[in-house]
Chains A and B, each alone.
Chain A
Amino acid sequence: MWIYEKKLQYPVRVYSTNPALAQMILEQFGGADGELSAGIRYLTQRWTMPTNEGKAILTDIGTEELAHWEIIGTIVWKLVKDASPEQIKGTPFEAHFVNHGKSPFPHDASGVPWTASYINSKGDPIADLHEDMAAEQKARATYDWLISISDDPGVTDALRFLREREIVHFQRFGEALRIVQEEMDKKKYY
């Protein structure tokens, strides 16, 4: 089960009202390589992971991704909470606004809603851990692009933190993969 802790993993500071930037950041709220996809992907793969190290890392990184999803939602909320309809009109956030108001919603930057086809669980630990390592690099690249377009120092700071986490997760998944491979090499059936 899960227990909610009433705090963010990282303090989110936002210094501007910027609906256009909020819309781009939604890429990581409901996009293919976003935090929701990451969390659901890893937590779903746990049942068929053969090693204890792998089960633990999928559980704990999957859980951390949900904390990142909360951070992304908070950045988006703080970027739009004080925006007037006039400030939203004509920005890429306008189409989101007429459907969802100022609530974050899991869609990507272009408004395509989140779908389970963004994740996979092959029931094969080698395939799954390779997918997870690729997913971390894709998320890292998305953060690179987002950081390059952010003009709010607070938003950039939070995005940098999240980008670093992708690198740490990639490292841990690589170690989990090595452990699974060593385990499989030990029991070779011919």
Chain B
Amino acid sequence: MSNYMDREQKNLLLEIMEYSFALVETNLYLDTHPSDEGALKLHNAYSQRYQELLSIYEAKYGPLRYTQMSGCPWAYINDPWPWEIDFDN
């Protein structure tokens, strides 16, 4: 088990985490305000960028979701797992 993740991979992962969180916020807001066009616009813009970043990340470092493709061997299992990452190094 290694908690090491190089700077480039970590920065991309952190950016994905930011977009993912923004989507959690727009998702919850839209659940109770489904006709808010401004919020929907924001959600759709975040969603598009999120998908783009995920494709870049997963092609380079392996799947973050089991539904995605991988080279051999199955890179989904690679460390570090989320609770092992040292976000400062």
Interface positions of A (Cβ within 8 A of B): 3-13, 53, 56-57, 60-61, 64, 70, 73-74, 77-78, 168-169, 172, 175-176, 179
Instruction: Report if B74 contacts A (CB, 8 A).
Output: no
B33-58 vs A: 1/0 string, CB under 8 Å?
A: 11000000000000000000000000
Q: Contact partner of B20 among A9, A53, A168, A179, CB < 8 A?
A: A9
Q: A7-B17, A60-B31, A74-B82 are in contact. List 4 more A-B contacts (CB 8 A).
A: A9-B24, A61-B28, A70-B82, A172-B31
Contacts A57-B28, A57-B31: A10 and B64 contacting too (C-beta < 8 A)? no
Q: List, in ascending order, chain A residues with CB within 8 A of B85's CB.
A: 8, 11
A13 with B82: CB separation less than 8 A = no
B83 with A6: CB separation less than 8 A = no
- Taking CB atoms and an 8 Å cut-off, the chain B residues in 60-89 that contact chain A are 63-67, 76, 81-83, 85, 87-88
Instruction: Report if B4 contacts A (CB, 8 A).
Output: no
Interface positions of B (Cβ within 8 A of A): 13-14, 16-17, 20-21, 24-25, 27-29, 31-34, 63-67, 76, 81-83, 85, 87-88
Q: Contact partner of B32 among A7, A8, A172, CB < 8 A?
A: A172
9 intermolecular pairs with C-beta atoms under 8 Å apart: A3-B65, A6-B76, A7-B13, A7-B82, A8-B17, A57-B32, A60-B28, A64-B24, A168-B25
Q: How far is the CA of A5 from the CA of B76 in the complex (A)?
A: 10
Q: How far is the CA of A100 from the CA of B57 in the complex (A)?
A: 36
Chain B: minimal CB distance from A80 (Å): 12
Q: Which secondary structure dominates chain B's binding surface?
A: helix
A4 with B65: CB separation less than 8 A = yes
B27 with A60: CB separation less than 8 A = yes
Q: Contact partner of A4 among B25, B29, B66, CB < 8 A?
A: B66
Q: 7 tightest CB-CB pairs across the interface, nearest first?
A: A175-B32, A56-B31, A74-B83, A11-B87, A6-B64, A57-B31, A8-B82
Q: List, in ascending order, chain B residues with CB within 8 A of A12's CB.
A: 83, 87
Q: How far is the CA of A73 from the CA of B65 in the complex (A)?
A: 21
Q: List, in ascending order, chain B residues with CB within 8 A of A179's CB.
A: 32
Chain A: minimal CB distance from B37 (Å): 17
